[in-house]
Structure 1
Amino acid sequence: MSSGRRQRGGDVGEQPPPGRRRGEPPGSRRKQKLLSIHQALTSDPVAVETLRGAAVSEGGLLTDEIRRRVWPKLLSVNVYNLPPKPGRAVRRNHKDYTQVQLDVSRSARRFPPGMQAEQRQVLQEQLLDLILQVLRARPELHYYQGYHDIAVTLLLVTGQRLGSALLESLSTHHLRDFMDPTMDSTKHILNYLMPLLQRESRPLHDFMLRAEVGTIFALSWLITWYGHVLANFQHVLRLYDFFLASHPLMPVYFAAVLVLHREEEVLACDCDMPSVHQLLSQIPRDLPYERLVGRALQLFQRHPHTELARQAALQGRKSIAIGSFSAFQRAASRQRPDAVLRRERQQEGADGRARVSLPTPGHSPLVKAAVWGLSATLGAAALAVTQTALEWAPEFLLQLF
């Protein structure tokens, strides 16, 4: 399923030059980014910091094929050690089955427009299984409405088995505060928003305080990583690349940037809760996403979350996601490349567990032409990666042309 088929129409925003998608870097920089990603993935250990840099820079990870390679490394998921598909017989016994089923049934708008009903029903069944598999494997996690919006994005890009492993990792780290039995931890995360606005624009901050709008308008933004509120799937993917490569609080910084971007609109509306809430809860369709991502990064550097913690903390509450992030980053930096993981998996022998289906080595004339063309175009940098390119992912190389 290609990203193009999932594109939802109607967004205007930043218009790319002819032949280039919105937010995608021009040809030479795109090729250099692809080479950098390839080198990072095949180095031992994997150069995760390079992958993070690629994910947050202009255009993000560019294609779903690259996301299927990079997202697992950003979340420390071994694609050669995925859990088997769950059995259908046991899922109805889960305490959250009814609520998850209701949310999944209402998720039709999150699937590609024009998709046949039968195909969508299959994906919704997979989505239901994917969510319940994670909840069953991690009983300390509590389902919340909006969780399925994150799960469906992973499903559409990576499929059910890999999507389940990615969702489990994401749920135990970046999303962990949202999955407590109460909303207290989620409120704590929301509390970082107003101190950010106060530091960047005191007039805007004070206006919102007088309006008593609070931060509830941003709740669905954070708990779904904006997947529930954005109509264009490419914008959702751009933000997922960004958030997966960033600190767990980055969605809050992006929320602050969204509000600051609309400061004039906010200050021009009536200073009351209904007016301001209605304005902010409706995200415009023509936002300059690349510029906003860059501004969120600057905001994160200018106002570290450690400096905001005192204002954000209520009753001394601490964030699990923030507290565990350093250990999460250290673990990610010790990952082995897929070629090594594949050999280790093969050496273990058949043990009854299903294996993930990944591209096998290919030597078609088209792939060879891609390698030759790459070498001629980029010289020594390309020659450095062609030793492993055919083994790693032929279709990746073909994206360079």
Structure 2
Amino acid sequence: MNPKKPRSVGASSPLNGFGKQDAELKRKRKVAEITQALNATPVDVAALRRMAISEGGLLTDEIRCQVWPRLLNVPVSSIPEPVERENNKDYNQVLLDVQRSLRRFPPGMPDEQREGLQEELIDIILRVLHKNPQLHYYQGYHDIVVTFLLVLGERLATALVEKLSTHHLRDFMDPTMDNTKHILNYLMPIIERVNPEVYDFMQEAEVGTIFALSWLITWFGHVLSDFRHVVRLYDFFLACHPLMPIYFAAVIVLYREEEVLDCECDMASLHHLLSQIPQDLPYETLISRAGDLFVQFPPSELAREAVQQRSQQTASSTFKDFELASAQQRPDTVLRRRRQEQQQPSLDGQTGALVAVQPTARRFVRLAVMGLTVALGAAALAVVNSALEWAPKLDLQFFP
């Protein structure tokens, strides 16, 4: 008689099947919660933000077509205006960039379909620039626009890109790169607070922050090859403060700690290493970590170091969360949930180290309210600000 083989946990394993069933149940539950938030009167934007930030994001492009406009408070009934290309000062540069954007389209897409989308991409960009002459085109802008085009189609993409260009991306579209460089200056203070050893190594190598420029100005669309990862990040960024991409850039560097410290301590070597972004990042873990860092080190606490002898405010500093209503938000529920989480030490999945419980109640409450900021946006702070006089403001504060 042959000995009985041990059962392996593979594709046909009941355990694996239960895992798939559980994932599918979670997915269905999330779709139901998103649908409920969309059907509420008024639309429960706070819940949509939570869904966009939480694990898996908004799940499908069909859902994104409904939720992204709500996150930006954009009406979707407008009809794009016709575009006159030849008389547009940016047409030639836009045309060159779009022609070089082949890899941003799905593999295997028929040439005719791709070429049609490229024409639409050009029109969206030129339409937004013509309507907003204060905006200046930059190379990499098309990487953001093409993401919205592929998800939403030309009509919706035009409306959302215009709102995004006058808010989240506004500083990148100045005549000079001064404000863009200033936003990059937030990267090193975040790294210094989390890992002084990595910070000191980067300072000694004099690598600067230019390696993260393309990450920031394209919302990582230019450097990630898998479109699924790009739209997952866009879910996250659209639901958060405009500076969240710089926090995500910081967690990528921090995640690569061993690679950084093993690298030659010189500018060229370290710049080359950091600019080659890995494609197999644990995106959900990093998204969660970026949110944690925003809670622990909000922009207002980093501003003095980031300003570096400059007192000029960026457009991000006047971000007002697009007039999102806060009437239906329940911060007390969030606070109670976070209190329970604080009382239970958890295991950090990356390091295996226990996460320490905050030592004081005041520290806990502050983190809880700042956690509200990440999950619900600036409007949530208006609900709790009267009760907690120290509640942090989401707006950036710069110092002379």
Verify same fold: TM over 0.5: yes
CA shift in 2, pair 1:19/1:173, >3 Å: farther
The AA in structure 2 aligned to 1:239 is L
* Local SS of the residue matching 2:157: helix
Counterparts of 1:189-200 in structure 2, within 5 Å, are 189-200=183-194
Q: Which residue of 1 aligns with 2:312?
A: 317
CA shift in 2, pair 1:25/1:281, >3 Å: farther
Are the equivalent residues in 2 in contact too, given 1:51–1:74 (CA < 8 A)? yes
Are the equivalent residues in 1 in contact too, given 2:215–2:249 (CA < 8 A)? yes
RMSD: 1.9
Distance 2:87 2:232 in 1: 36
Are 1:133 and 2:130 an aligned pair?
A: no
Q: Which residue of 2 aligns with 1:215?
A: 209
Are the equivalent residues in 2 in contact too, given 1:55–1:241 (CA < 8 A)? yes
Q: Please give the per-residue CA displacement for 1:9-40, whole angstroms capped at 9, x wherever unaligned.
A: xxxxxxxx78999xx98122212211211111
Q: Please give the per-residue CA displacement for 1:259-304, whole angstroms capped at 9, x wherever unaligned.
A: 0000110000100011111111111121110000000000100101
Q: TM (normalized to structure 2)?
A: 0.75
Q: TM (normalized to structure 1)?
A: 0.75
Are the equivalent residues in 2 in contact too, given 1:68–1:158 (CA < 8 A)? yes
Q: Please give the per-residue CA displacement for 1:345-375, whole angstroms capped at 9, x wherever unaligned.
A: xxxxxxxxxxxxxxxxxxxxxxxxxxxxxxx
Q: Which residue of 2 aligns with 1:142?
A: 136
Are the equivalent residues in 2 in contact too, given 1:46–1:333 (CA < 8 A)? no
Are 1:332 and 2:327 an aligned pair?
A: no
Q: Which residue of 2 aligns with 1:367?
A: none
Distance 1:20 1:71 in 2: 30
Q: Please give the per-residue CA displacement for 1:324-359, whole angstroms capped at 9, x wherever unaligned.
A: x22x34x23389xxxxxxxxxxxxxxxxxxxxxxxx
Shift of 1:229: 0.2
Distance 1:170 1:18 in 2: 42
Q: Which runs of 5+ in 1 are unaligned?
A: 1-16, 336-401
**Equivalent residue in structure 1 for 2:45, among 18, 24, 48:** 48
**Equivalent residue in structure 2 for 1:286, among 280, 289, 292:** 280
Counterparts of 1:171-190 in structure 2, within 5 Å, are 171-190=165-184
Are the equivalent residues in 1 in contact too, given 2:80–2:158 (CA < 8 A)? no
Are 1:76 and 2:70 an aligned pair?
A: no
Shift of 1:42: 1.4
Shift of 1:306: 0.4
Shift of 1:322: 2.6
* Local SS of the residue matching 1:238: helix
Higher RCO (C-alpha 8 Å, min separation 6): 1
Are the equivalent residues in 1 in contact too, given 2:215–2:222 (CA < 8 A)? yes
Distance 2:23 2:284 in 1: 14
Are 1:64 and 2:67 an aligned pair?
A: no
Distance 2:19 2:39 in 1: 28
Distance 1:299 1:31 in 2: 30
* Local SS of the residue matching 1:26: helix
| Percent of pairs with identical residues | 62
Distance 1:133 1:19 in 2: 50
**Equivalent residue in structure 1 for 2:234, among 234, 240, 250:** 240
**Equivalent residue in structure 2 for 1:32, among 29, 33, 39:** 29
Are the equivalent residues in 1 in contact too, given 2:46–2:326 (CA < 8 A)? no
The AA in structure 2 aligned to 1:149 is D
Counterparts of 1:342-357 in structure 2, within 5 Å, are none
Q: Which residue of 2 aligns with 1:380?
A: none
Distance 1:58 1:116 in 2: 33
Shift of 1:85: 4.2
- How many residue pairs align between the two structures? 311
**Equivalent residue in structure 2 for 1:253, among 244, 247, 255:** 247
Are the equivalent residues in 1 in contact too, given 2:207–2:268 (CA < 8 A)? yes
4+ residue stretches of structure 1 with deviation over 4 A? 17-21
CA shift in 2, pair 1:334/1:134, >3 Å: farther
The AA in structure 2 aligned to 1:321 is S
Q: Which residue of 2 aligns with 1:99?
A: 93
Q: Please give the per-residue CA displacement for 1:72-95, whole angstroms capped at 9, x wherever unaligned.
A: 000111112x133424xx121111
Distance 2:324 2:23 in 1: 30
Distance 1:230 1:109 in 2: 10
Q: Which residue of 2 aligns with 1:266?
A: 260
